[in-house]
Structure 1
Amino acid sequence: MITIKSPEEIEKMKKGGALLSKTLTKLMSACRAGVKADELDALAIKEIEQAGGRPSFLHYQISDYDPPYPSAVCVSINDEVVHGLALPDKKIKDGDLVSLDIGMWHEGLATDMAATVCVGNVSPEARDLSGHTKEALKKGLSVIKEGAWVHEIGQAIEIYLKPHNYAIIKDLCGHGVGHAVHEDPQIPNYHERRHKPIKLKAGMCLAIEPMITLGDWRIKQKDDGWTYVTADGSLAAHWEVTVVVTKSGFEFITPWPEV
């Protein structure tokens, strides 16, 4: 069910989102060669708790049949698209492309954001992939306003990326957020006619998150039950912000990280 947040809820989410953005900024600065993923996870938990929040990903379950997610931050490296586990044996190396995805409960409401970090001497192709993924996110945001359609977001992302010959992950998408970590509507990063037409309304809070790869769009899940990787082993990038729909456009719930 799609929920419209009240002005009071939106202000609470903006407060929490600003704190989450500061946490992600610190994680991005700490994401260097030689750092272990569990060290980033410990930093995320510390920063979120000091901000008066609670990690929304830690112990999260999509359903009762799924294993609880063991980390506060998703650390996805190179061909890992999303949900990479922050394990102690996962060490970041020079040249890695690292996606950091983090969520927080604050004053009873959830926010969500992600960024891709180019660690050290990354290839020009990897750096361009991250940059174009972020730019595609901006194009998706540019069409948001009351009365627009959900599919226009994915359409704008797809139109921007088409000349660059990247592939858009089709099995993962953006979503509503606030009362739960994942809410309706689902927001694909591409457009097909089969997608149900949904009109945007002021007060809808949305997590927009293009996930883009240098190769094919197909993905597979690792044996850990969480991590999604590109099926062909190609590099992937992921950027995400939470916004609220307004009558004339949108406002950021989670500002861009200051890096």
Structure 2
Amino acid sequence: MITLKSPEEIDKIRKACRIVAEVLTRLREAVEPGVSTWDLNALSEELAAERGAKPAFKGYHGFPHALCTSVNEEVVHGMPSKKRVLKEGDIISLDFGVIVDGYYGDAAITVAVGKISGQAEALCRVTRESLDQAIAKARVGNRLSDISHAVQAHVEKHGFAVVREFVGHGIGRNLHESPQIPNYGPPGRGVKLQAGMVFAIEPMINQGRAEIEILEDGWTAVTVDRKLSAHFEHTVAITKNGPEILSVCD
């Protein structure tokens, strides 16, 4: 069951999301060759604390860190480590969430480490564009799968593959709420979208094959062919005036 949010609840989610956006902006600036994913995780915790926010992921189903740091072939849920030091040409997905006053915010970006290959740049650009196109479909009267189809259509047109195992989700008092929002499927299906719905929309797109596997740590998902993966996410409120991206800085 999808819980519609009141304007007051959306304000609280917006507050949490703006903190997420501020933290991700600072993390993007900190990404450079020689920085470890452990350093980035520590910075995310420090920045959240400065803003009076609690990291949403730390302890969630046992995940031990505040930040998911997924490098190159890692799709999602990458584990920060002192041993994982970024180098020129890498790409890194930074997935971060907080809880503030009982409401969650969630977003992700993929960042280039120095100069990256043309193929890596194209993957990141197309993934980001697919998120934009999905958000454009988050309008009153559309169907849930219109969001999903927008991602798949754009990504596959450019020769990339959509990860099936992980999906977007509703968000509010809980980090993950109904509905699940796949990044693939035919349009015109699922529930009709209404004002007050709040979704975390998050394409995860692979350079090569769509299939993934989970590493021995029980968390880190990687591409089966070890080719690159990119991930972008925004928390979006559906309003009578169209979609509002909550996870952006003013």
- In the alignment, does 2:202 pair up with 1:212? no
- Pairing 1:42–2:42 present: yes
TM-score, normalized by length of structure 1? Answer: 0.93
Show the counterpart of 2:190: 197
Partner residue in 1 for 2:237: 244
SS of alignment partner, residue 49 of structure 2: helix
Aligned with residue 156 of structure 2, among 153, 162, 167: 162
Answer yes or no: is 1:128 the counterpart of 2:116: no
Amino acid at match of 1:147: G
The CA deviation at 1:146 is: 1.5
1:80 to 60, 74, 84: 74
SS of 1:133's equivalent in the other structure is helix
Question: 1:124 and 1:82 mapped to 2: Cα distance?
Answer: 22
After TM superposition, the structure 1 = structure 2 runs for residues 33-72 of structure 1, keeping only pairs within 5 Å, are 33-61=33-61, 68-72=62-66
Q: Following superposition of structure 1 onto structure 2, how do residues 17-32 of structure 1 map, counting pairs within 5 Å? A: 17-32=17-32
Shift of 1:3: 1.1
The Cα of 1:237 is off from its aligned counterpart by 0.3
Instruction: Kindly indicate whether the alpha-carbon contact (under 8 Å) linking 2:143 and 2:189 is maintained by their aligned counterparts in 1.
Output: no
- Counterpart Cα distance in 2 of 1:36 and 1:163: 35
Which deviates the most, 7-16 or 92-101? 7-16
- Write the distance in 2 (CA, Å) between the matches of 1:49 and 1:144: 32
Task: State how far apart, in whole Å, the 2-side matches of 1:7 and 1:76 are.
Answer: 34
Kept in 1, the 8 Å contact 2:155–2:205? The answer is no
Bigger Cα displacement from structure 2, 87-96 vs 219-228? 87-96
Alignment of 1:248-259 (within 5 A): 248-255=241-248
Identity %: 40
Structure 1 counterpart SS, 2:244: strand
* Shift in Å, 1:162: 2.3
The two structures have a TM-score, normalised by structure 2, of 0.97
Unpaired stretches in structure 2, ≥5 consecutive residues:
none
Partner of 2:132: 138
Query: What whole-Å deviation, never above 9, does each CA across 1:78-103 have from its counterpart, x for those lacking one?
Result: 00000000111111111101000000
Kindly report the root-mean-square deviation, in angstroms, between the aligned alpha carbons of the 2 structures.
1.4
Task: Provide the C-alpha distance between the structure 1 equivalents of 2:169 and 2:11, rounded to a whole number of angstroms.
Answer: 20
Shift of 1:248: 3.2
The residue matched to 2:218 in structure 1 has which SS? coil
1:178 Cα deviation from its structure 2 partner: 1.1
Contact 2:146 2:189 in 1 (8 A): no
Matched AA of 2:134:
G
Q: How many residue pairs get matched?
A: 250
What SS does the aligned partner of 1:206 have?
Answer: strand
SS in 2 for 1:74: strand
- For 2:167, the equivalent position in structure 1 comes to 173
Instruction: Report if the CA contact (8 A) 2:65-2:79 is conserved.
Output: yes
Give the secondary structure class of the aligned counterpart of 2:2. Answer: coil
Runs of 4+ in 1 over 4 A off after TM superposition: none
Residue 178 to residue 101, structure 1, CA distance change in 2 (3 Å): same
How far the C-alpha of 1:18 sits from its partner, in A, is: 1.2
Asked whether the equivalents of residues 212 and 223 of structure 2 are also in contact (C-alpha less than 8 Å), the reply is yes
Q: Secondary structure at the match of 1:185?
A: strand
- Once residues 189 and 31 of structure 2 are traced to their aligned partners in structure 1, the CA distance between those partners, rounded to angstroms, is 39
CA distance in 2, matches of 1:20, 1:214: 27
Whether 1:221 aligns to 2:223 is no
Q: Post-superposition shift, 1:192?
A: 4.5
Selected match of 2:113 from 119, 125, 133: 119
Query: 2 CA distance for matches of 1:19 and 1:111?
Result: 8
Q: Does 1:5 align with 2:5?
A: yes
In structure 1, the gaps of 5 or more residues are 62-67
Alpha-carbon displacement from aligned partner over 1:15-55 (angstroms, at most 9, x marks no partner)? 22112101100011111111011111111001111111100
